[in-house]
Structure 1
Amino acid sequence: MENLVEIRGLKVEATTDSGRRLDIIKGVDLDIAPGEIVALIGESGSGKTTIALTLMGYTRTGCRISGGSIRVAGKDMVTLSERQRAMIRGREISYVPQSAAAAFNPTKRIIDQVVEVTHIHKLLPPAEARQKAISLFKALSLPNPEQIGERYPHQVSGGQLQRLAAAMALISDPKLVIFDEPTTALDVTTQIEVLRAFKSVMKKSGIAGVYVSHDLAVVAQIADRILVLRNGEVQEVGSTETILNDAKHPYTRELLSAFEPKPRGDQLDLAAEAKPLLEINALTAGYGPVQEDGLPLVRAVQEASITVQKGRNLGIIGESGCGKSTLARSIAGILPASSGKLTLDGRQLAPSARQRSREQLRELQIVFQHADTSLNPAKSIEDILGRPLTFYHGMKGSQRSTRIDQLLDMVHLPKALRSRTPAELSGGQKQRVNFARALAAEPKIILCDEITSALDTVVAAAVIDLLKELQRELALSYIFISHDLSVVEAICDEIVVMYRGKKVEQITPAISKVPQHPYSQLLFSSVPKLDPNWLDSLERDPELVKAYGHA
């Protein structure tokens, strides 16, 4: 069978701000057969998205295709004119982005945007295009397929919008669809339904696909073959089954081992060590005007009661919007609780951080999800780490300088980074600086709010290992907020499950991993496994999905 895609010796070059040229893709070969789905796997900067975009003859600003050939259905995308490429994009090759919200115009109805490509390329009469869109909505398991297109993008859920973006890509009957991390931003319960819908439509229509991701478990469910990339070079290529069960390259094996973080081997004796460090009693917090009962209009967290023991870690999990991050912000005093009581090491905490003593602020630190927005881009790493040392401990001069070196060493960063700004660091390095800044205060407890969600699997696993090491050395406690169950299980002694602002269950993994609440059961059953047959064999209670799923 003739290949649909043939890439030979692909090179992509980037030009830096100083005018220096760097090869970011270094001679990549790739074949894709008609109807085959090939996954591009690797950490950030490995070249996954860059290669995928070249299939449309496109590169990001500052980059260019500097060598090789890219043939799609017999046409070389490198030698075609921009006008010829434009005729192919959206018609023969379609693209589904990571953020569906960014792909839709908020001022236009969904149906008008989904059928737009059929008007541009004059593929179908308007009435036919509309009927085809509705049939795709049905095939992608969207609710109310006849009416959903009449809504605007903000009127549907994230999972629905991601499937609508797929409908927009599929309506032209393309030969190839590029999926660029399309489920990364989705909750696990939603992700499963979206993956199922993608897989079903692609296989039924015999459409080839390129699936870009750093999540091997997701890739295992949808891809026929996997191409492993690192620093713009192919490390290994093989069938999904072969890569998962018989990987040859050390980097592939590193990716596989990083996917399942090692469970804690330093569990403390509960009976001997159980002393409350942080106690949260009946905490309610939210947004909007205060009502007659003294509570906010939107109650994102309702009557939550949680205890964190000294030297132990608590995980808080749940889907987007369940109140996890609001709870963290309330504990930190960034969003003052409307009611309830907070006690840290036997002393009551004021609801607002502004009302807390400097010592209380020092003892409870928070590390945010996005290091990019929580580090001052205008300051050097030295300034960022020096500020809490001066604020909390009054350190100056050589004493402060020595401590900065110690903090960098603690989080395994070279001292040479002192003079750099956040923009000059990788995502993993920035998150380590975030931790060093929290450690500068010498806290008793650190709130970690989705700190690994923006990181690659390998980098995230390294950060988790770092946290365990710091806990052993410094007798810290963590509250770990995440929707990634494997990460939470790797570091937490207790797991609290939240749903719609309420704590529905607390689980002790060391004693039992079997959740009792129906929502917890749905959540735990939705975490993909490194098994290509997992999705096809997954059976979930339809009543549970109906009651608690929001795909």
Structure 2
Amino acid sequence: MPNLVEIRDLKIGARTDSGREVQIIKGVSIDVAAGEIVALIGESGSGKTTIALSLMGHVRPGCYFQGGSVTVAGRDMAALRESERAKLRGTDVAYVPQSAAAAFNPAIKLIDQVVEVAKIHNLMPMAEARAKAVELFRALALPDPDTIGERYPHQVSGGQLQRLAAAMALIGGPKLVIFDEPTTALDVTTQIEVLRAFKSVMKAGGMGGVYVSHDLAVVAQIADRIVVLRGGEVQEEGTTAAILDNAQHPYTRDLLAAFHPVTHAAVALPESATPRPPALEVRGIFAGYGPLTAEGLPAKQVLKDVSCKLEKGRNLGVIGESGCGKSTLARVIAGLVAPAKGQILLDGKEMAGDLKKRSKEELRRLQIVFQLADTALNPSTPIGDILGRPLTFYHGMKGAARDARVAELLDMVHLPKNMRHRLPSELSGGQKQRINLARGLAANPEVILCDEITSALDTVVAAAVIELLKELQRELQLSYVFISHDLATVQAICDDVIVMNGGVNVETLPAAQIMESAQHPYTRLLLASVPKLDPGWLDSLADDPAFERAGRSSLLSQV
């Protein structure tokens, strides 16, 4: 039986800013059998997504096919006319993007976007397509599957939106599904459900898959084989078990080593005769959406009496699964969502809950770095202008002084000065996130809210960003609130951790001792849900009565 995918000696070129021709994919050959899932791994810029997009006959602007073939179900996608490729996209081959937030139209209901493929290709009546969409919502463990499609993209969490993007790809029953980092926005417990659903749907439909990821533990659960890429070339390939247990190439071993970041050495609080106020303090915050009730609380409560402290020079982690209120807490602190009740204090002084009522100095001292650099950076604005705006707004810098400070900021986040002339679309994911961070640093803040800023980055780049944050903290005396669903990342940078579930702070722990000190059953579930570098780990959970007894439904009833 012929392979579903046969990539032979694929070469893809690109033109640099100076007009120079470079080769970014250098003679890659990969096979995918029918029903097989092959993972492409490697750090940012290794060519993973470029190869995956070539399976749809697509290359990014400025890139072009130089040679080789990309055969899917017997048809060379690189050689077809664009009109012929369009007929195959969504039916023969489908794509689940990394950034679902950038893939959805904010003005159209979710259900109408999910069934669009069926409408475009006239695959089935719309009533049938909507029924199939609801089945997929249920299979992908989405809440309220019968009605969630009636919402708009901004009315669901990032993890939920990622699963809706998967439903959009799967509704056409494709032969090949390309997963481009589809679980980066998911917390560990939701990730388990989604991976199980992916495996079940793929197996039931006999679909082949190409899974692009930087998370080796996720790859271990879903992939049959792994292809390791670096600089547009294959470094090593083999079965998942062989790569994880007996990697041969030094680069593969480096990737495996980066999976285990070094635990952060907690910063001791200095002794002082006069106690210092915390850098940031949150007291009894209630927040949400919708009209206020008679008690003065929002109809849809997201945060319920949340309190926490961030001491100066230390880092506070906020963990919990998708929809628990982590990002809403960050937005409340930043003033983007006004609380119904409670106080936010910066260096002991209360700030207004509404961003518009805060002084420019308060805005400067407290900055937020958003999760998705793709949507946080204006795609039509050069990097120099993106970094220059806060310099002018907060410090009145113009002309040569502003240009010099932009160069300093780029150097601060270890990027070349000539990058100031580029657009965000011309940068890798790791580079965009560094620009996102540099924009926050432009204000010279005291506290930075980091909202899932490493979730979309590969392990090597994420580790580099964490080290950069530590370096900047030492040099600039910063304090961080680090919001994440990645427990290893939190342990790598935080001194203390609060665990959130259902809008409630259920436990506060020292980050370095979270494994040993966790008492709350929900915290223990989170810890038990962290994927391991073991291909049989996910399947073993179904046979683990202890894990199932500590499952989400029973735990949530205890909170």
Change (3 A) 1:364 1:248: same
- 1:168 matched to 2:171? The reply is yes
For structure 2, which runs of at least 5 residues remain unmatched after alignment? Answer: none
- 1:28 matched to 2:28? The reply is yes
| Matched position secondary structure for 1:443 | coil
Counterpart selection for 1:544 from 544, 551, 554: 551
Change (3 A) 1:160 1:310: closer
Does the 8 Å contact 2:525/2:550 carry over to 1? no
Does the 8 Å contact 2:137/2:145 carry over to 1? no
Does the 8 Å contact 2:13/2:24 carry over to 1? yes
Change (3 A) 1:108 1:31: closer
Does the 8 Å contact 1:110/1:151 carry over to 2? no
- Post-superposition Cα deviations, 1:143-163, rounded to whole Å, max 9, x if no partner, equal 99xx96898464995576466
Does the 8 Å contact 1:109/1:150 carry over to 2? no
Aligned to 2:214: 214
| TM-score computed with the length of structure 1 as normaliser | 0.81
Aligned to 1:480: 482
Code of the residue aligned with 2:535 in structure 1: it is P
Change (3 A) 1:249 1:362: same
1:20-419 pair list within 5 angstroms: 22-59=22-59, 64-72=64-72, 76-78=76-78, 93=93, 95-98=95-98, 106=109, 120=123, 140=139, 152=149, 154=151, 158=161, 161=164, 164-165=167-168, 167-170=170-173, 174=175, 176-203=176-203, 207-265=207-265, 267-270=266-269, 272=271, 275=276, 276-375=278-377, 381=383, 384-385=386-387, 388-389=390-391, 392=394, 403-418=405-420
Aligned residues: 538
Instruction: Measure, in 2, the Cα distance between the counterparts of 1:134 and 1:377.
Output: 32
| Matched position secondary structure for 1:528 | coil
Instruction: Measure, in 1, the Cα distance between the counterparts of 2:476 and 2:428.
Output: 26
Change (3 A) 1:425 1:543: closer
Aligned to 1:471: 473
Moved more, 103-112 or 358-367: 103-112
Instruction: Measure, in 2, the Cα distance between the counterparts of 1:488 and 1:111.
Output: 34
- Post-superposition Cα deviations, 1:272-315, rounded to whole Å, max 9, x if no partner, equal 48853222111222333344433333332221111111211101
Instruction: Measure, in 1, the Cα distance between the counterparts of 2:338 and 2:352.
Output: 8
Cα displacement (A) at 1:460: 1.9
Instruction: Measure, in 1, the Cα distance between the counterparts of 2:281 and 2:90.
Output: 55
Code of the residue aligned with 1:519 in structure 2: it is Y
Code of the residue aligned with 1:186 in structure 2: it is L
Instruction: Measure, in 2, the Cα distance between the counterparts of 1:387 and 1:57.
Output: 38
Moved more, 198-207 or 86-95: 86-95
Counterpart selection for 1:532 from 530, 535, 546: 535
Change (3 A) 1:110 1:547: farther
- Post-superposition Cα deviations, 1:369-394, rounded to whole Å, max 9, x if no partner, equal 23354455666555554555565556
Moved more, 222-231 or 294-303: 294-303
Code of the residue aligned with 1:191 in structure 2: it is Q
Does the 8 Å contact 1:308/1:314 carry over to 2? yes
Cα displacement (A) at 1:494: 1.0
Change (3 A) 1:106 1:523: same
Code of the residue aligned with 2:291 in structure 1: it is P
Change (3 A) 1:196 1:343: same
Instruction: Measure, in 1, the Cα distance between the counterparts of 2:497 and 2:479.
Output: 14
Instruction: Measure, in 1, the Cα distance between the counterparts of 2:308 and 2:165.
Output: 35
Instruction: Measure, in 2, the Cα distance between the counterparts of 1:352 and 1:150.
Output: 32
| TM-score computed with the length of structure 2 as normaliser | 0.80
Instruction: Measure, in 2, the Cα distance between the counterparts of 1:81 and 1:96.
Output: 23
Cα displacement (A) at 1:493: 1.0
Cα displacement (A) at 1:191: 1.8
Instruction: Measure, in 2, the Cα distance between the counterparts of 1:7 and 1:536.
Output: 31
Higher-Rg member (1/2): 1
Cα displacement (A) at 1:58: 4.8
Code of the residue aligned with 1:212 in structure 2: it is V
1:487-506 pair list within 5 angstroms: 487-506=489-508
Cα displacement (A) at 1:221: 0.8
- Post-superposition Cα deviations, 1:511-533, rounded to whole Å, max 9, x if no partner, equal 34243223322222222222222
| Matched position secondary structure for 1:516 | coil
Moved more, 363-372 or 417-426: 417-426
Change (3 A) 1:518 1:373: same
Instruction: Measure, in 1, the Cα distance between the counterparts of 2:288 and 2:138.
Output: 38
1:418-429 pair list within 5 angstroms: 418=420, 422=424, 424-429=426-431
| Matched position secondary structure for 1:260 | coil
Cα displacement (A) at 1:352: 3.2
| Matched position secondary structure for 1:510 | helix
- 1:452 matched to 2:451? The reply is no
- 1:519 matched to 2:536? The reply is no
Instruction: Measure, in 2, the Cα distance between the counterparts of 1:165 and 1:421.
Output: 29
Change (3 A) 1:549 1:479: same
Code of the residue aligned with 1:70 in structure 2: it is V
Cα displacement (A) at 1:469: 1.2
Moved more, 484-493 or 67-76: 67-76
For structure 1, which runs of at least 5 residues remain unmatched after alignment? Answer: none
Does the 8 Å contact 1:166/1:198 carry over to 2? no
Code of the residue aligned with 1:344 in structure 2: it is L
